Amino acid sequence: MALAVLAVGCVFSTTVAVIQWRRVDDLRHTESVRRAAASTAGRFAVALFTYDSADLDAAKARVLRYATPAFAKRYSATNGPEQKTLADLGARESARVTGVFLTDVVRDRAAAVVVVDATAQSKTGTHHSLDYLDVAMVWDGRAWKVNASQAVPVRP
């Protein structure tokens, strides 16, 4: 009788251990997916808010590195007159992410709001801003890619 109770206890303990191991593994995977999505959203925002008017093509290439083909078709860093204005002003902007607020990741989709601290410099001076960027992402099978983004209006 004692041997039967011991055997049932061993089977029960092993079953609970396997269930817990799988649960921990699922949580690790979920956290890894969330970190990857948040990282992509942050890197995209930095690329979007960082440029040097002397090389706008490099800035555009950095943005498109994180974009889906659909986003790339719609994206235009600047048009001709804007490029000339930026060049005339010797404009440069740099940014750093101060926060990423990620929604739930549902299958191959995620969204985030990225808080960006940006500093623009030109012949007219230096301007600091705190910007919010809404980013929609999709998993392309290898990495998270930005499919849409828009500025979040902030009321003073």
Lowest mean pLDDT among 5-14, 39-48, 90-99, 126-135: 5-14
pLDDT of 140 higher than 70: yes
Round to whole Å and give the CA distance between 10 and 30.
30
Greatest mean pLDDT among 10-24, 36-50, 66-80 lies in 36-50
CB 146 within 8 A of CB 137: yes
Lowest mean pLDDT among 57-61, 90-94, 143-147, 151-155: 151-155
pLDDT of residue 149: 95
Give Cβ neighbours of residue 13 (< 8 Å, ≥ 6 apart). none
pLDDT of 25 higher than 70: no
pLDDT of residue 124: 92
Which residue is associated with the tokens 């235009």? 76
Token readout for 92 is 């440069």
Q: How distant, in Å, are the alpha carbons of 92, 101, 126 from that of 87?
A: 9, 34, 16
Our CA dihedral for 49, 68, 57, 152, rounded to 10 degrees, sits at: -20
pLDDT of 30 higher than 80: no
Give Cβ neighbours of residue 121 (< 8 Å, ≥ 6 apart). 91, 92, 93, 127
Could you tell me which residue, 103 or 3, shows the higher pLDDT?
A: 103
Query: 64-98: per-residue pLDDT in tens?
Result: 999 999 999 888 766 667 888 888 889 999 999 99
In order, the DSSP letters of 9-48 are HHHHHHHHHHHHHHHHHHHHHHHHHHHHHHHHHHHHHHHH
Mean pLDDT of the chain, nearest integer: 87
Which residue is associated with the tokens 């009788």? 1
Q: Is 21 helix (H, G, I), strand (E, B) or coil?
A: helix
pLDDT of 104 higher than 70: yes
pLDDT of residue 85: 84
53 residue type, one letter: S
Q: Is 43 helix (H, G, I), strand (E, B) or coil?
A: helix
Kindly indicate the confidence band of residue 11, based on its pLDDT and cuts at 50, 70 and 90.
low
CB 45 within 8 A of CB 116: yes
Domains of the chain: 2-151 (3.10.450.540)
